Structure 1
Amino acid sequence: MEILEPLSGDEFAPETTYLNTSSCGLVPRRAVAAITRLAGENAAGTRQGAGSFDALNAVRGSFARLTGVGADRVALGSSVSVHVALVAHSLPAGAEVLAPEGEFSSVVQPFAVRGDLKMRYVPLESLAESVRPGTALVAFSSVQSVDGRVADLDAVRAAAAAHGARTLLDASQSAGWLPLDAGAYDYTVTAGFKFLACPRGTSFLTVTEEAQERLGALHSGWFAAEDLTDNYGPVRELAGSARRYDEPGSFLSYHAAAESLALLEEVGIEAVCAHDLALAARLRAGLASLGHRAVSDSSAVVAVPGLDGLQPELVRGGVYASARGGNLRFALHLYNSSADVDRALEVLSAAL
């Protein structure tokens, strides 16, 4: 695989060896400029309202194009757990939800907290074969946060279809580097502040037209109305699209997100994927030369068991990674270069 050095050009301004996108992605310069511009206008009172709905629509359109669905299937929000809670509320009491063991809490907690659903957890590798006729929903991440393992997406979708189960995919650790066909799942949820390079306060829910028929718009306000001038009293008609599930937009975050997603569209997810995986392969090879093996060999998230205690040493060396579940976790993205990987290996070698 070819590493382009780096894909982002002058779009980002890291002052460290930043290999921690699984925790939080870097925001590009153009997005920072958008935040600064809008904040200044809000401070000066030179605009009507706190931000532009055109920016929200631009973000919705960009995310739709990046994930292969129509913009009418995309809802905007602020957190994955709020999106998942909508899905959790739509299930009847006693419904079975199947999820991988150790799945990220935001994916499973909204189901677990209900107390009247049957939660079943299995190893990620057994997820597809564990779907059964009584399974109502399979909730899982495309890439596991703790160690970067990539789910067998085709197998899980096929098993769910065979048994009449719905699917909820969390793409927070993959959208932005791994190509995603969001329309292949009943629901997808994605945090914007990781590989999509958006600020916190941006998240995305996709809903197929069929799945929308069962999903209530529990937190709908005037922004969920078909007619956005319908502002007083109960909304007369909810939006016919997935916009009915929008949370009120955080304009500062979404003005920036419009720029971040536009950059990803310009570069192209396929190019980002090739770049990120090439860097990850370089890092895994270097780790192997130091006597350590990563959990996954097919992910942009590279986690090494047993080295989590070295994370503070890396930070002192100017290398940012994270400690998660006993792993030292690196995450490579479009603003990284082979020099970043080599620096991380240099500091890690000195710490071992």
Structure 2
Amino acid sequence: METFENLVRAEFTPKQTFLNTASNGLLPARTVSAVQQAVRMRAEGTPLGPLYEDVEAARASFARLAGVPAERVATGASVAEYGGLIAAALPAGAEVLTAEGDFASLVNPFHMRGDLKVRAVPLERLAESVRPGTALVAVSAAQSADGRLADLPSVREAARAHGARTYVDASQSAGWLPMDADADDFLAAVGFKWLLGPHGASFFVAPPDFGGLAPLLAGWVAGERPWDSCYGPVEELAHSARRFDVSPALFTYAGLRASLELLEEIGVDVVHAHDVGLANRFRTGLAGLGHEPVPAPGSAIVSVPGLGHRQGELSRAGIQVSDRAGNLRAAFHLYNTPADVDRLLEVLAA
């Protein structure tokens, strides 16, 4: 069995110190090869059946990572499209509870309805803020801006006690933080961050009874027999969550299939320990420099107030991080090493 180090070394060859997975992940070598092969197939006129098989393989792989049957997973292009489906299913006047400053793709579809009551509270008060009349609690498992983790067990418990549903955006956690999608009503995640895929893919986990959602974006791929559903209304929607699919970006899913296979080979538990270990190394080093990050225990994302202005300087030094709301955001993933952490601390100390 290949070791973690050997697998990673064979797949990633970053030219810089890349600590910006919260923006987008690096592509493994196998993913680059898969995308190139998919492009060649289009250029050569080869039948594209294998690329549709890639979509199904990626669906099944994500389902295993999420801990649900593949029949509950839909594939799409963005988190916002699935938030839109959930928003459309809510009755007028329904209350949606969100965390202050959560990512726009999660919260904006509910604001766009115009007739929902969207209430935002501090993340740490989310569970206690669920009340009678709350219809849905929508929250990111890990906050994009600063890496803080939602207390999902407490949120779920509070939601169930008040008859509310939960909708989790795992875009900043899927791939390094173990998922338990079966514990939530809805879950969505993009594929281009911690899942290491190309841009243009997302996954959505729906309940077995579809949660009252209407497949408003349904085209031919949402049919039980897609190739018999190309003309006129779709006569029979897929019996699975595939009824919520949108026409797939085939090149993207060809690559994402390979990326997910790598994550499964390594194991998310192993990735989690590696990523959080590096983040904690950075937190310890920051303390030695007199800096205090936003408290986010257990997170692979570290956000440091007051240092965002140094992002440009760090970029020129070959270190890729983000400036988010004045904070310096560093995100640690499987291809990072202790040397990357030490290099970042060295430049910050200068």
Match of 2:292, as an amino acid? Answer: R
* Partner in structure 2 of residue 216 of structure 1: 214
The Cα of 1:38 is off from its aligned counterpart by: 1.1
Describe how 1:247-286 pairs up with structure 2 within 5 A. Answer: 247-286=246-285
The Cα of 1:9 is off from its aligned counterpart by: 2.4
- Separation in 1, partners of 2:208, 2:75: 16
- Separation in 1, partners of 2:241, 2:100: 30
C-alpha offsets along residues 3-49 of structure 1, whole Å, 9 cap, x if unaligned? x658612111211000000000001000000111111121122x124
Match of 2:341, as an amino acid? Answer: V
The Cα of 1:227 is off from its aligned counterpart by: 1.2
Describe how 1:2-13 pairs up with structure 2 within 5 A. Answer: 5=5, 8-13=8-13
* TM-score, scaled relative to structure 2: 0.97
What SS class does the counterpart of residue 140 from structure 1 fall into?
Answer: strand
* Partner in structure 1 of residue 38 of structure 2: 38
Does the Cα contact within 8 Å between 1:51 and 1:251 map onto a contact in 2?
A: no
Q: Do structure 1's residue 206 and structure 2's residue 205 form an aligned pair?
A: yes
* TM-score, scaled relative to structure 1: 0.96
Describe how 1:20-31 pairs up with structure 2 within 5 A. Answer: 20-31=20-31
Identity of aligned residues (%): 55
* Partner in structure 2 of residue 99 of structure 1: 98
Match of 1:106, as an amino acid? Answer: S
Does the Cα contact within 8 Å between 1:5 and 1:338 map onto a contact in 2?
A: no
Q: Do structure 1's residue 169 and structure 2's residue 206 form an aligned pair?
A: no
- Separation in 1, partners of 2:348, 2:291: 11
- Separation in 1, partners of 2:104, 2:6: 33
* Partner in structure 1 of residue 324 of structure 2: 324
Does the Cα contact within 8 Å between 2:301 and 2:330 map onto a contact in 1?
A: yes
The Cα of 1:50 is off from its aligned counterpart by: 7.8
4+ long deviations beyond 3 Å: 4-7
Match of 1:277, as an amino acid? Answer: V
* Partner in structure 1 of residue 15 of structure 2: 15
Does the Cα contact within 8 Å between 1:6 and 1:337 map onto a contact in 2?
A: no
* Partner in structure 2 of residue 145 of structure 1: 144
Q: Do structure 1's residue 301 and structure 2's residue 306 form an aligned pair?
A: no
Gaps of 5+ in 1: none
What SS class does the counterpart of residue 189 from structure 1 fall into?
Answer: strand
The Cα of 1:345 is off from its aligned counterpart by: 0.9
What SS class does the counterpart of residue 80 from structure 2 fall into?
Answer: helix
Does the Cα contact within 8 Å between 1:107 and 1:140 map onto a contact in 2?
A: yes
C-alpha offsets along residues 155-213 of structure 1, whole Å, 9 cap, x if unaligned? 00000000000100000000000000111111001011000001110101001113x14
Describe how 1:26-105 pairs up with structure 2 within 5 A. Answer: 26-45=26-45, 47-49=46-48, 52-105=51-104
* Partner in structure 2 of residue 110 of structure 1: 109
The Cα of 1:297 is off from its aligned counterpart by: 2.7
Gaps of 5+ in 2: none
Paired residues, what number? 346
C-alpha offsets along residues 52-72 of structure 1, whole Å, 9 cap, x if unaligned? 211011000000001100000
